[in-house]
Amino acid sequence: MAEVVIVDTPEAAGTLVARHIAARVRDEPAFTLGVATGSTPLPVYAALARERAAGLDLSGVTAFALDEYVGLPEDHPESYHSVIRREVTEPLGLDPARVHVPDGDAATIATAGERYEAALDAHGGVDLQLLGIGTDGHVGFNEPGSSLASLTRIKTLTATTRADNARFFDSPDEVPTHCITQGIGTILRAGHLVLLAFGSGKADAIATAVEGPITASVPGSCIQLHRHVTVVVDEAAAAGFERAEYYRWVYEHKPAWQGL
Ligand code: GLP
């Protein structure tokens, strides 16, 4: 089962996950981090920036992003190239040459998935993948119905996701209709998945992903197929779990040597 850690606040989650990543990077400076966009992982990046300020060197870390919009210029402020540069590469002091984001150029999108998979394979994959979850259960941009074996490819966004992401654009019509995303099969190849969810708006999606049936209709449920998953939620997002008391008990009695 996925380990579920319930903490008081998103900041506490960020500190917990960043400490773990920092320890991994100290052990292995050429660590590979899978990065996600959205508001959810921001506390992790903020806490990692504090680790950096305290002396952690992240310049040897390679990062692979999950997804990108199709058809937005890379320098558009809401392209995931821009978001990753702003939220991850710059504050963490990553080497921009080691930061990979799928290519959302509409002119070459037909081969972009294959090229991203080849880059991931050539590098040797991702050690730890950070994940958020959409209110419709998506991970990356794998919308409900995505094959559990899928690889990086173009997808059409659902109306729900476009409405959720409209807050980043001047008008809802500006939200792109298509995206390129690592597939569920791609995500499942990472060594360790860390899925984060905060706030009551995510309570249903995260409970269904963790405790519901494994189904392409809830892409986040793919985590149940992975042998090393840590789900970190705040109290509000934990509201839908049937086994919350058990998760708390397990975490309180966890052997210290296990780490995250
Ligand atoms: C986007 C991203 C996902 C992210 C989701 C949730 O659609 N492609 O990777 O998990 O939004 O976003 P937020 O964390 O802002 O709720």
Beta bridge partners, 68, equal: 180
Dmax (CA) for the chain in angstroms is 53
Ligand 1 contact, 135 CB (< 6 A):
no
Q: Which of 68, 136, 164, 234 is catalytic?
A: 136
What are the C-alpha distances in Å from 4 to residues 78, 125, 187, 205, 252? 31, 24, 19, 14, 11
Ligand 1 contact, 62 CB (< 6 A):
no
Q: What is the pLDDT of residues 95-131, one digit of tens each?
A: 999 999 999 999 999 999 999 999 999 999 999 999 9
Ligand 1 contact, 182 CB (< 6 A):
no
Q: What is the pLDDT of residues 128-181, one digit of tens each?
A: 999 999 999 999 999 999 999 999 999 999 999 999 999 999 999 999 999 999
Supply the Cα-derived Rg of the chain in whole angstroms.
17
Q: What is the mean pLDDT of residues 77-91?
A: 98
Give, for ligand 1, the residue of 45, 79, 138 to mutate: max count of ligand atoms closer than 8 Å to Cβ: 138
Domain ranges, residue 82: 3-258
Half-sphere exposure (CA, 13 Å, Cβ side) for 40?
Answer: 28
Report the separation in Å between the CA atom of 132 and the middle of ligand 1, taken as the mean of its atom positions.
Answer: 6
State how many domains the chain has: 1
Half-sphere exposure (CA, 13 Å, Cβ side) for 96?
Answer: 6
Tokens 């008990």 belong to residue: 249
What are residue 104's phi and psi, to 5 degrees?
-95, 15
- The confidence score (pLDDT) of residue 165 equals 93
- Rounded to an integer, what distance in angstroms lies between the CA atom of residue 98 and that of residue 44? 19
Q: What is the pLDDT of residues 19-58, one digit of tens each?
A: 999 999 999 999 999 999 999 999 999 999 999 999 999 9
- Binning the chain into helix, strand and coil, the percentages to the nearest 5 are 45, 20, 40
What are the C-alpha distances in Å from 167 to residues 40, 122, 161, 200, 212? 15, 36, 11, 18, 29
For 85-125, give the DSSP string.
IIIIIHHHT--GGGEE-----GGGHHHHHHHHHHHHHHHT-
* Domain containing residue 229: CATH number: 3.40.50.1360
Under 8 Å between Cβ of 57 and 26: no
Give, for ligand 1, the residue of 131, 133, 193 to mutate: max count of ligand atoms closer than 8 Å to Cβ: 133
259 confidence band (pLDDT: 50, 70, 90): confident
Q: What is the pLDDT of residues 2-23, one digit of tens each?
A: 999 999 999 999 999 999 999 9
